[in-house]
Amino acid sequence: MDFTMLIAAFGGGLLATFMGGITAFVFTGLTVLAAIMGGDFGAPAVGAISFGSWFGPHVAFGGAVAGAAFAMTRNHIENGQDIITPLVKFGDPMVLIVGGIFGMVGFLIQYIVGPLLGPIIFGGLLESGAGWTDTVALTVALSGIITRLVFGKTGLTGKTPAGEKREWVTTGSRLGFVLTYGAGIGILIGGLTAYFGNLGLVGGNAFAAGLYANLPVIGFGVAAFSLILLMCGHAFEGWHHIVLPSGFTAQILFTASLSPALAIIGGLCAGMFTAYVGEWAAKTFNSHCDTHIDPPAVTIFITEFINFTILGGLIIPAIFG
């Protein structure tokens, strides 16, 4: 573990709290796009800035979520689920310090569940045991749970008002809408995966191969940056939890089979599945609650475990050798 980056994570969590969680996450998307498009020059920034101690969601977003929850306990905001408001407006140093502390907590959790325990548990199955799931997303979810247990009063799954029927899964027209946009995003990333895969892996174009390798993360960056619409006051929904896992599903399938059809079908199925899981996570962990447990993070770590460990580690080797 890099102790310099651990110390820096305090500043990352503090700054994100200063800015607000959504603002910090928008910069996650912006910086990852800039770094990837910068090629070899930008490559070090992906791990250190976009997914590290500056804007890594486990540090920055997780810290800002904790800062918002603590701000609620000091009556600065009505509900700790407000992750849009920049908490600088309250001029409370303790709110920033809590965000910084949770930035360091997120850095430590990610190290434990990834580089430390991953190879021990999954080293015999995966080439890199640390990559058994998206450990950044897992950390964001765990950090949110810790935040709720420390600062919240509504419990892990919220307190449903008396006489109100709790809805745990999406139904009706909303379900149709969710599955439709999940399918569309999955088809998009699956089709692009097939296109760049044909150019790069089959055709030998080195630049296309580079884009192919980074395409799921590029999709994630675009989706994260698009949340700037929330900051502008528009009704909008996150979709990074759809495009990232769907992109990896398509990529795993195309790499093994070189089949464009399989990549698109895989992206389609993963898109619908992740959209549905995201709705379930939102209703389960963010209904009638007073702090934020991130539904996209829950969705990503579940589906990336399926991608990396089950599909990539077990099914693909069994079928394709």
Question: What would the pLDDT profile of 248-266 be if each residue is shown by its tens digit?
Answer: 999 999 999 999 999 999 9
| Residue 156 within a domain | no
Contacts (Cβ under 8 Å, ≥6 apart) of 138:
110, 113, 297, 301
Same domain, 145 and 202: no
Same domain, 142 and 7: yes
Question: What percentage of the chain reaches a pLDDT higher than 90?
Answer: 87
205/139 Cα distance (integer angstroms): 36
* pLDDT tier, 103 (very low <50, low <70, confident <90, very high otherwise): very high
Same domain, 66 and 191: no
Same domain, 52 and 119: yes
SS3 162: coil
| Residue 45 within a domain | yes
* pLDDT tier, 292 (very low <50, low <70, confident <90, very high otherwise): very high
Same domain, 127 and 211: no
Q: Which domain holds residue 272?
A: 172-320
Averaged confidence pLDDT in the chain: 94
88/320 Cα distance (integer angstroms): 54
321 pLDDT exceeds 90? no
CA nearest 59: which of 99, 32, 91, 29? 99
Question: What percentage of the chain reaches a pLDDT higher than 70?
Answer: 100
Q: How many CA atoms lie within 13 A of 152 on its CB side?
A: 27
Contact between 193 and 215 (Cβ < 8 Å): yes
Same domain, 139 and 273: no
SS3 58: coil
| Residue 182 within a domain | yes
* pLDDT tier, 122 (very low <50, low <70, confident <90, very high otherwise): confident
Q: Please, what is the end-to-end C-alpha distance for the chain in angstroms?
A: 35
Predicted TM-score (pTM) of the model is 0.94
Burial of 273 (0-12, 13-18, 19+ CB in 10 A): buried
Domain boundary among 116, 151, 186: 151
| Residue 226 within a domain | yes
| Residue 100 within a domain | yes
* pLDDT tier, 149 (very low <50, low <70, confident <90, very high otherwise): very high
165 pLDDT exceeds 90? no
pLDDT of residue 125: 77
Same domain, 249 and 311: yes
| Residue 246 within a domain | yes
Number of domains in the chain: 2
Report the Cα 243 to chain-centroid distance in Å: 10
Same domain, 142 and 176: no
| Residue 167 within a domain | no
Same domain, 8 and 146: yes
Same domain, 311 and 180: yes
| Residue 165 within a domain | no
Domain boundary among 151, 185, 209: 151
